[in-house]
């Protein structure tokens, strides 16, 4: 494989470029600084939800030197800062800045720069999009975004389905979840995958009745083909990351917890940040392959103006849709399988011991009930001698989608953060009952049970798996219906959160999850001015109108990064 990795957002495989380790310490040893806009800003004539305990709503606030200086009435705010630049909210509603607690920013940008298969409605549509793309390009083809659960065929695509398209050119089309891919015969041949090829550890090569690979690869098996595909170069990655950052500001996000950025790509983010082109505050959880380098840095000297390197993202299992999520009992619709462990627990235990010594956070992907039990067991054992140190470490389980009833209370008891993505539920619950059977649904996407137990839930989107829209995520958390307002009999409506709790997922809880709760997450004097302004009041608007709202103003670190108010 070339020095530049082939990037698959959400992947376990991130190949470090040759010079990255040598320069890493210098890159991340920047002195943090507050990114403030010029002069004072007055937001007036709106509705302001402070998320500040014991404080009522306000109608105006003042920003000075990147921080909230005053919150109150428009009259008092105007008197407090008569010199301030005035932005009239005109009845819009301001919230503490929304943070996406689980996103793959580079993947978000690449989604629009490569073959985007989002919304593909069947194999015929997949073929049509692939053919159109092949006519405009040369060489191997990479695509992402298809998901078969709504297709009329009700099955995974196969290499035979895309035969005779771009003949002889390797093709790899990644499923939306990033945990499975479709390879054509040319790509299978290039990887040397034949009837006698064994499944790799943590992966599955799906086969036809004859035993030949049918083109579908699950989890680590995807890497057999991916390592032969061309990697995006630095220029394309910079373009993608720049586009993703701008998109997130336009949608109203002020912060992001980026999961799995390779350290060889960190210099791109650093350059954008130092050039003033990063509109977010980004907490980075590096790829698992880079963990030794990250842990060597220790707990200090890992941040710049708009980013901080917090820890490392590891994996236990795969995804539910591709039946790679590790379950305690077999899949209801595939009795021969209980999913996959993509990392050995013994390896994770060794890495986690090093993380504890280094003072670094762990973000651990776990979707199935077996995977979540393994994650909680590993966290508990790593800090067996120091429960309070475990709480202070704020280690996280990413997704926490299917949890056995006996494990639901362990998140709060152990002080483990559940990092969950509400939009997964309103998509997955179309097929989760078939995968799991009704008995296991009680612990599926169980936000309310976890919140009531005292667990901290950080809310995210997992974009580009999902759209990456704060309004969709809030809607899903508080309403638990699909975007057309529909729900199914097994969707667990009782797991919907009260609106104030749904807001906390993306504000106060997100801040706590990355250790920023004294800086952001509320609109109170002295806090960093991270503000998301939407055209509707999410606390009172009819649910069906929330996803039709829009972000009107975004302020990050006191700097206006998106403005439709003038």
Quick: pLDDT tens for 105-135.
999 999 888 899 999 999 999 999 999 999 9
- pLDDT of 28 above 70: no
What are the φ/ψ torsions at residue 198 (nearest 5 degrees)? -80, 150
pLDDT at 465 over 80: yes
Domain 316-509 has CATH 3.40.50.2300: no
Pick the residue with more confidence: 492 or 4?
A: 492
Given this structure, which CATH class describes domain 115-226? alpha beta
Least confidently predicted of 212-221, 258-267, 300-309 = 300-309
Tokens representing 422 are 């509400």
Whole-number Å distance between alpha carbons of 548 and 535: 9
Average pLDDT, the chain: 91
| Of 222, 123, 150, the residue nearest 180 (C-alpha) | 222
pLDDT of 503-542, one tens digit each?
A: 999 999 999 999 999 999 999 999 999 999 999 999 999 9
Residue 34: the pLDDT is 53
Query: Rounded to 10 degrees, what is the CA torsion of 483, 484, 488, 493?
Result: 60
Q: Which residues contact 92 (CB under 8 A, 6 or more apart)?
A: 46, 47, 533, 534, 535, 552, 553, 565
In the numeric block, which tokens belong to residue 261?
């950025």
Tokens 């963990």 belong to which residue?
291
The pLDDT confidence band at residue 39, using thresholds 50, 70 and 90, is confident
pLDDT tens digits, 139-191:
999 999 999 988 999 999 999 999 999 989 999 999 998 899 999 999 999 99
pLDDT confidence tier of residue 297, bands split at 50, 70 and 90: confident
Q: Is the predicted pLDDT of residue 421 greater than 60, yes or no?
A: yes
**Most distant pair of Cα atoms in the chain: their distance:** 80
Extents of the domains making up the chain: 115-226, 316-509
- Percentage of the chain modeled with pLDDT above 90: 85
**Which two tokens mark 319?**
């995804």
54-87 pLDDT, tens digit each = 677 899 999 999 999 999 999 999 999 999 999 9
10 Å Cβ neighbour count for 301? 13
Residue 435, pLDDT above cutoff 80: yes
pLDDT of amino acid 6: 32
As a whole number, mean pLDDT of residues 22-30 equals 48
Question: 29 pLDDT band (50/70/90 cuts)?
Answer: very low
Pairing status of strand 60-64 against strand 41-44: antiparallel
Check whether 395 has a pLDDT greater than 60.
yes
**Of 81-85, 136-140, 248-252, which gets the smallest average pLDDT?**
136-140
Residue 2: CB atoms within 10 A of its CB come to 11
Query: What mean pLDDT do residues 44-58 have?
Result: 85
Average pLDDT for 86-94 = 96
CB distance 259 to 8 below 8 Å: no
Q: What is the pLDDT of residues 230-239, one digit of tens each?
A: 888 999 999 9
Residue 31's pLDDT is 39
In this prediction, residue 53 has a pLDDT band, given cuts at 50, 70 and 90, of low
Give the H or E element holding residue 189.
helix 185-191
pLDDT over 60 (residue 416): yes
**Would you place residue 35 in the very low, low, confident or very high pLDDT band (cuts 50, 70, 90)?**
low
pLDDT of 50 over the 50 cut: yes
pLDDT for residue 36: 54
- pTM for the full model? 0.91
CA distance 189 to 212: 12
- Residue 490 confidence (pLDDT) above 70: yes
Question: pLDDT of 310-362, one tens digit each?
Answer: 999 999 999 999 999 999 999 999 999 999 999 999 999 999 999 999 999 99
pLDDT greater than 50 at residue 498: yes
Given CA atoms 529, 286, 9, 371 in this order, what sign does their dihedral have?
negative
- Whether omega for the bond prior to residue 464 falls within 30 degrees of 0, making it cis, is yes
Distances from the Cα of 191 to the Cαs of 175, 291, 430, 565, in angstroms? 19, 27, 34, 53
């Amino acid at each position: 494989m070339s020095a530049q990795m082939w990037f698959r957002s959400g992947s376990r495989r991130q190949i470090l470029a040759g010079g990255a380790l040598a320069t890493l310490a210098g890159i991340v040893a920047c002195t943090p600084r507050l990114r403030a806009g010029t002069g004072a800003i007055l937001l007036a004539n709106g509705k302001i939800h402070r998320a500040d305990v014991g404080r009522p709503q306000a109608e105006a606030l003042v920003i000075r030197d990147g921080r909230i200086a005053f919150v109150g009435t428009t009259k008092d705010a105007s008197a407090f800062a008569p010199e301030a630049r005035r932005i009239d909210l005109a009845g819009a509603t301001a919230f503490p800045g929304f943070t996406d607690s689980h996103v793959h920013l580079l993947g978000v940008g690449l989604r629009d720069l490569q073959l985007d298969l989002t919304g593909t409605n069947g194999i015929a549509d997949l073929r049509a999009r692939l053919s159109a793309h092949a006519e405009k390009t040369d060489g191997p083809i990479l695509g992402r975004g298809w998901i078969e659960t709504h297709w009329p065929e009700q099955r995974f695509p196969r290499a035979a389905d895309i035969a005779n398209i771009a003949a002889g050119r390797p093709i790899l089309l990644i499923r939306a979840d990033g945990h499975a891919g479709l390879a054509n015969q040319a790509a299978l041949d290039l990887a040397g995958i034949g009837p006698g090829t064994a499944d790799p550890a943590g992966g599955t090569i799906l086969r036809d009745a004859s035993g030949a690979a049918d083109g579908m690869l699950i989890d680590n098996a995807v890497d057999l083909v991916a390592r032969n595909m061309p990697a995006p170069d630095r220029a394309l990655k910079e373009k993608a990351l720049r586009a993703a950052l701008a998109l997130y500001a336009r949608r109203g996000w002020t912060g992001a917890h980026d999961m799995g950025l390779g350290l060889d790509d960190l210099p791109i983010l650093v350059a954008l940040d130092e050039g003033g082109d990063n509109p977010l505050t980004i907490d980075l959880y590096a790829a698992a392959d880079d963990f030794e380098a990250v842990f060597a840095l220790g707990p200090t000297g890992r941040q710049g103006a708009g980013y901080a390197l917090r820890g490392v993202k590891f994996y236990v299992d795969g995804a539910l849709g591709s039946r790679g999520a590790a379950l305690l009992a077999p899949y209801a619709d595939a009795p021969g399988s209980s999913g996959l462990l993509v990392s050995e627990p013994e390896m994770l235990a060794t890495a986690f011991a090093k993380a504890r010594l280094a003072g670094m956070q762990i973000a651990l992907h776990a979707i199935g009930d077996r995977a979540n039990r393994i994650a909680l067991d590993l966290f508990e054992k790593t800090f067996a001698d120091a429960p309070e140190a475990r709480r202070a470490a704020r280690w996280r389980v990413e997704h926490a989608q299917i949890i056995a009833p006996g494990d639901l209370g362990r998140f709060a008891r152990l002080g483990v953060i559940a990092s969950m993505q509400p939009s997964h539920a309103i998509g997955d619950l179309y097929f989760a009952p078939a995968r799991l059977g009704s008995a296991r649904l009680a612990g599926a996407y169980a936000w309310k049970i976890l919140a009531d137990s005292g667990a901290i839930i950080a809310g995210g989107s997992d974009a580009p798996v999902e759209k990456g829209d704060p309004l969709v995520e809030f809607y899903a958390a508080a309403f638990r219906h699909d975007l057309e307002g529909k729900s199914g009999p097994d969707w667990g409506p009782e797991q919907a959160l009260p609106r104030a709790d749904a807001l906390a997922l993306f504000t106060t809880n997100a801040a706590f999850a990355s250790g920023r709760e004294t800086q952001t997450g509320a609109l109170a004097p002295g806090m960093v001015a991270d503000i998301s302004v939407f055209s509707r009041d999410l606390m009172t608007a009819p649910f069906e109108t929330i996803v039709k709202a829009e972000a009107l103003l975004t302020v990050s670190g006191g700097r206006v990064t998106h403005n439709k108010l003038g």
